[in-house]
Structure 1
């Protein structure tokens, strides 16, 4: 059921984010839109990563903070889903180091939850409408879910700090996790920016 719901969500979002691709971003035909993305990304913790992953969506995002946040969550979803599948495959392999195997299993559990959190955030962004209070409540849920996803990803990486430097799985997983945590952090920052723009008094 989870797999079906993910594919349903993807099919629902693709028309709105047709520019999403694993290929490098193509040159934008809208300089104002790319400037908007660059300026927005400057407020994130990883502005270079932010701009590189979102610049290719400028014609879809235009200068809309909600669409930019949605695109960023979309990127986070695919990155988190990809690393979750990778770690899941590792968890099924027998390891010689018990602590490394335990760290992999714990990480997979955390990332599975992260996928659910980011997926739920996407659903909320797709149906973002209604009264101001309803939208504010919905965005509060998105903030909570994206924050939880980022915490899980950080906890996954922290779990490998206790197993020493020898197990090769540590470098493999932690190396891949860098991009995942950065795009999730950026997505959360852009969500927060949108919330502040819509409701300036929101903390």
Structure 2
């Protein structure tokens, strides 16, 4: 069945709303206190996008409590969820442009490249998430593992930037707007997750 552009663009707006807006009922097993919410707000001040940070993590404040590890894991989880949805969207978009009249245009090439690099970003953030789940017990092992996470999250950001750069020479239109909208959303949560990991890493001393 042919996948129409309007269907793909609708998919973007529905998923972005679901993923990036804060939930008032899900995400924490216990009701958060104002102190726990303030911890999220204060921690997010160290990030480049504090409003996005608070909006996407405040739903988890009841389970994060005041734990920087849980805070970092939750931020990486948000980034992984967002980048996975973006990768699915870009894969659908890539198949659409390849099957249409624009298969050989700069736009279609940019979409294909984005689909590829976002697949890499998913892998890198997945590895980061797994590494945070199995942090060691000594400061030396934790620092080594956090270094891995920092490397992978930085690589994911580079891939996301590569996708955006690929649209520099593409004319404005619905496809460019939708793809770049995804990139901006993913970059913000990825950058925030990396910033929170960096903040925690700075507290670990060998």
Residue in structure 1 matching 2:164, options 154, 157, 170: 157
Question: What does 1:105-124 correspond to in 2, within 5 Å?
Answer: 105-124=112-131
Could you tell me how far apart the structure 2 residues matched to 1:51 and 1:109 are?
Answer: 30
Question: What does 1:32-181 correspond to in 2, within 5 Å?
Answer: 32-93=35-96, 94-97=99-102, 98-165=105-172, 167-181=173-187
Deviation at 1:95, TM superposition (A): 4.0
Could you tell me how far apart the structure 1 residues matched to 2:151 and 2:92 are?
Answer: 28
Q: Show structure 2 runs of 5+ residues with no match.
A: 1-17, 26-30
Ranges of 4+ aligned residues in structure 1 off by more than 6 Å: none
1:24 aligns to what?
Answer: 22
Q: Show structure 1 runs of 5+ residues with no match.
A: 1-20
Could you tell me how far apart the structure 2 residues matched to 1:95 and 1:168 are?
Answer: 15
Deviation at 1:25, TM superposition (A): 2.9
Give the alignment's TM-score, normalised by structure 1: 0.83
Q: How many residues align?
A: 179
Deviation at 1:161, TM superposition (A): 1.2
**8 Å Cα contact 1:95-1:101 kept in structure 2:** no
Give the alignment's TM-score, normalised by structure 2: 0.82
**Alpha-carbon displacement from aligned partner over 1:66-115 (angstroms, at most 9, x marks no partner):** 11000000000000000000000111122433111110110011000000
